[in-house]
Amino acid sequence: MRYVTSFERLAMEEGMEKGLEKGLEQGLEQGLEQGLEKGIQEGIQVGQSRLLIRILTRRFGELPPWAITRLRQASAEELDNWLDRTLDAASLQAALDNTHAQH
């Protein structure tokens, strides 16, 4: 077994500390990027939901609570499909019908 001098031991400890710091820094940076991306996506979805609520309200009158809840909980894909259908739908139920989802 090889003897490790105190200088080598200190160098190894310092190297491990720097590696740990760099790893933490990279992890934090990646986490912030992912969090920011998710926050932006959620913000876009909330905006789409609000816009669709306004459009549907102008088109069909005051929306029932079930419709508002459904719009606020919808995925981005659902909101896109409903937005497309809103222009041609004869009723609120037809606009929010998922059985004819467009892909």
Q: Which residues contact 14 (CB under 8 A, 6 or more apart)?
A: none
Segments of the chain scoring below 50 in pLDDT: 102-103
Which DSSP state fits 11? Answer: H
Give the model's pLDDT for residue 37.
Answer: 85
- Both structure tokens of 68: 């508002």
Spatial distance between the Cα atoms of 52 and 48, rounded to a whole number of angstroms: 6
Give the model's pLDDT for residue 103.
Answer: 44
Spatial distance between the Cα atoms of 69 and 84, rounded to a whole number of angstroms: 19
71-97 residue pLDDT tens: 999 999 999 999 999 989 999 999 998
Spatial distance between the Cα atoms of 70 and 78, rounded to a whole number of angstroms: 10
Instruction: Report the half-sphere exposure of 45 (CA within 13 A, side-chain side).
Output: 15
